[in-house]
Structures are given as structure tokens and as C-alpha cells.
């Protein structure tokens, strides 16, 4: 009898140990081949638990918001082969359901969600294409601290985020669009490395004072827009840029006094737009330009006194408007452009407004 009881006890222990091992084991690999697109909680609830998705994962709606609040079905997911788009989900307050995701092969796009932080992405190491974060309820983005690679665009539009130092561990070089629209951003410290060439740059509505991280950049395949950065005192960081294939826009930077640090720019194939920089005194940093590929706008720069920085420009691809510059009296920097012909000028509401006859007569300033 004792032997029988002993055998029963041993059998129970073996069964208990097996049960414990099963509970601690990794989930069985379950791969979904293709894309998963859901826009309601009902659709989410019909899904199985997957460890990998070979295509895109899109949790989004074109309407104002989904009714989704629970994404725990994705808690075993480790890899997404395509894009991961989480957009227009006001009821999604956390990213914890994605805490095992290590790789997004395509783009990671987070837009207009109720999420407060990105702590669910602490295991994320690599994004194959674009990182786009915009208009979420985010209070911080610290959950991206272990990210080491971004393959495409770097786009953050978040009004409450004051730092991007979380990206200090990224070792890849940014080559796509760089778009930062962050009202509380005080520094570009943490911005991943910029190579010799990138697609486009937009820095808008920040509190940054310097553009130093761009100091290796030489060529921009698209546009460069530096707009409404009230604390920006210099374009230092742009001193090695030689070509911009699209538009150059410098607007509403209240403390910017000159363009000296973009002084190697020699090719501008798009528009020139210099507007509303109230303390801008001169544009001499543009002195290496000999042509402007598109329209020209120099308007409402209250401290601008001359246009000498355009003295080597001999052609423009469209109309050239110079308007509302309160103390601008010296237009002699436009002589080469005027003498070469082919450009229509619209000059008005400045301290002096020379006509075509004034230029012909040599009266380009007063």
C-alpha cells in the first residue's frame, strides 16, 4: 500500500512539473502570411494570436476614430514584415500589447491615438522604413530608447515632447525626410546621424537655437523649410549645404539676424521664400547663388536693409516679389537679375519701391 501511495505521489509531481513547464514556455510560433487591416473592436476580437505578420498591420479608420480599446490579441507578436500603422484610435491608451515586437520591416506610423507613452515599444530595435509620430496624446516617447535603426523618414509632430534624446542609440544614418514640428523642443540633441544627402528637411515651431547636427549635410534632394522657430539665432549647421533641388523657405524666425551659415549654397532649383523674419538684417549668406529655379519672395522682414546677397543671381524661374520690408531701401543686389531680363518684378510697400525705369537709370537705392 505504501509503495502504491508513493508511486501516485511521484506521478502527481511529474504531471505538476510538466504543467509548470508548459506555462513558462514561449508561445508556439504562429505566422500570418499577408496583411491584417482592422477598424473596429469586433474585427480585432475575431483575430487569432500571432507571433509574426509577414505583411502590414493596420489598425486605423478614415473616420474620426475607431471604437477599439483592447489590442491584447497582439501580445505575442514579435515581428511585422511590412508597415505597422496605428491611427485614429482615441480609445487606445497604451502600447503594452506590442511589448514583444522587435522588428517592423516597413514604416511605423502612430497618429491621432490616445496613447500617453510608447513604453510598449521598449523591445523594438529596427524600423525598416519611416518613423512617423504625429498628434497623439503622448507625454513622452521614452519607450523608443532601444531603437537602433531607422531606414526612412524621421517625422515627429508632437506638441508636448521637449526632447529627442531618446534616439541617442540609433546608429543608422537618416537619408529620407526629416520633419520636426514640436513646440516644446529645445534642442536637436539625439537626432540620428545625417549623411551627405537627404531628401527634405522641415523644422517648424520649435524652441531650438542651433542646427549643429546637420553639419555634414551637403545636398538636399527636396525642400528645406526653417519656419517659426522663435529662438533660432543662426543657421549654423547648414554651412556645408551646396545644393537644394526644391524650395528654400525661411519664415517667421524672430531672432534670426542673417543667413551667413548657409553661405556655400550655390544651387537652388526651387523657390526662394524669405518671409516674416523680423530681425533679419541681411541675406548675404546667399551670395554664391547664381540662379533661382522658381519664384522669389522676400517679404515682411522688418529689419532687412539690402538685397546684396542676391547680387550674383542672373536668372529666376518665375516672378520675383519683394513686399512689405519696412526699412528696405537698397535694391542694388538685383541689378544682375534685372539686367539679364526675363524676370517680372513685383516691388511694393517697402521703404523704397524702384520701378523698371529706376533700375535702368541706375537708381537702385536711396
> What pLDDT digit, counting tens, does each position of 164-217 carry?
999 999 999 998 999 999 999 999 999 999 999 999 999 999 999 999 999 999
pLDDT of residue 106: 98
pLDDT over threshold 60, residue 319: yes
pLDDT over threshold 80, residue 267: yes
Summarize the confidence of residues 105-128 as an average pLDDT: 98
In a domain, 36, yes or no: yes
Predicted confidence (pLDDT) per residue in 268-311, tens digit: 999 999 999 999 999 999 999 999 999 999 999 999 999 999 99
In a domain, 110, yes or no: yes
Domain that holds residue 135: 29-147
Predicted confidence (pLDDT) per residue in 340-360, tens digit: 988 999 999 999 999 999 999
pLDDT over threshold 80, residue 24: no
pLDDT over threshold 90, residue 3: no
Q: How many domains does the chain have?
A: 1
Contact 253, 231 (CB under 8 A): no
In a domain, 74, yes or no: yes
In a domain, 116, yes or no: yes
In a domain, 284, yes or no: no
**Distance (Å, whole) CA 312 – CA 336:** 7
C-beta pairs of 59-64 under 8 Å, 24+ apart in sequence: 59/85, 59/86, 59/87, 59/89, 59/92, 60/85, 60/86, 60/87, 60/88, 60/89, 61/87, 61/88, 61/89, 62/88, 63/88, 64/88, 64/90
In a domain, 261, yes or no: no
**Distance (Å, whole) CA 3 – CA 8:** 9
pLDDT over threshold 60, residue 12: no
In a domain, 119, yes or no: yes
pLDDT of residue 175: 87
pLDDT of residue 15: 43
pLDDT of residue 27: 60
Question: CA nearest 354: which of 343, 341, 338, 342?
Answer: 338
pLDDT of residue 26: 59
Helix (H, G, I), strand (E, B) or coil at 162: coil
pLDDT of residue 28: 86
Predicted confidence (pLDDT) per residue in 206-259, tens digit: 999 999 999 999 999 999 999 999 999 999 999 999 999 999 999 999 999 999
Other Cβ atoms closer than 10 A to 68? 24
In a domain, 300, yes or no: no
Predicted confidence (pLDDT) per residue in 29-88, tens digit: 999 999 999 999 999 999 999 999 999 999 999 888 899 999 999 999 999 999 999 999
pLDDT of residue 190: 97
Amino acid at each position: 500500500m505504501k509503495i502504491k501511495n508513493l508511486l501516485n505521489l511521484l506521478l502527481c509531481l511529474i504531471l505538476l512539473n510538466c504543467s509548470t513547464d508548459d506555462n513558462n514556455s514561449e508561445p508556439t510560433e504562429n505566422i500570418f502570411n499577408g496583411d491584417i487591416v482592422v477598424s473596429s473592436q469586433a474585427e480585432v476580437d475575431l483575430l487569432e494570436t500571432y507571433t509574426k505578420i509577414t505583411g502590414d498591420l493596420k489598425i486605423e479608420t478614415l473616420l474620426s476614430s475607431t471604437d477599439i480599446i483592447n489590442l491584447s490579441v497582439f501580445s505575442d507578436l514579435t515581428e511585422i514584415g511590412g508597415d505597422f500603422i496605428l491611427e485614429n484610435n482615441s480609445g487606445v491608451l497604451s502600447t503594452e500589447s506590442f511589448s514583444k515586437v522587435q522588428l517592423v520591416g516597413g514604416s511605423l506610423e502612430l497618429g491621432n491615438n490616445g496613447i500617453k507613452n510608447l513604453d510598449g515599444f521598449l523591445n523594438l530595435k529596427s524600423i525598416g522604413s519611416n518613423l512617423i509620430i504625429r498628434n497623439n496624446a503622448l507625454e513622452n516617447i521614452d519607450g523608443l530608447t532601444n531603437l537602433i535603426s531607422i531606414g526612412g523618414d524621421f517625422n515627429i509632430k508632437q506638441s508636448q515632447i521637449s526632447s529627442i534624446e531618446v534616439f541617442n542609440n540609433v546608429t543608422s544614418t537618416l537619408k529620407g525626410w526629416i520633419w520636426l514640428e514640436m513646440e516644446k523642443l529645445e534642442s536637436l540633441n539625439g537626432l540620428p546621424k545625417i549623411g551627405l544627402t537627404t531628401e527634405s528637411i522641415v523644422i517648424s515651431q520649435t524652441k531650438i537655437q542651433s542646427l549643429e547636427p546637420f553639419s555634414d549635410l551637403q545636398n538636399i534632394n527636396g525642400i528645406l523649410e526653417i519656419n517659426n522657430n522663435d529662438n533660432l539665432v543662426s543657421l549654423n549647421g547648414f554651412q556645408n549645404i551646396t545644393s537644394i533641388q526644391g524650395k528654400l523657405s525661411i519664415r517667421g524666425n524672430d531672432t534670426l539676424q542673417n543667413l551667413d551659415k548657409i553661405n556655400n549654397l550655390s544651387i537652388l532649383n526651387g523657390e526662394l521664400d524669405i518671409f516674416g523674419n523680423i530681425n533679419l538684417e541681411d541675406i548675404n549668406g546667399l551670395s554664391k547663388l547664381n540662379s533661382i529655379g522658381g519664384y522669389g519672395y522676400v517679404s515682411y522682414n522688418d529689419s532687412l536693409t539690402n538685397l546684396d546677397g542676391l547680387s550674383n543671381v542672373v536668372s529666376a524661374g518665375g516672378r520675383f516679389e519683394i513686399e512689405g520690408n519696412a526699412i528696405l531701401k537698397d535694391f542694388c543686389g538685383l541689378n544682375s537679375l534685372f539686367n539679364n531680363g526675363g524676370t517680372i518684378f513685383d516691388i511694393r510697400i517697402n521703404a523704397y519701391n524702384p520701378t523698371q525705369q529706376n533700375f535702368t537709370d541706375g537708381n537702385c537705392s536711396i
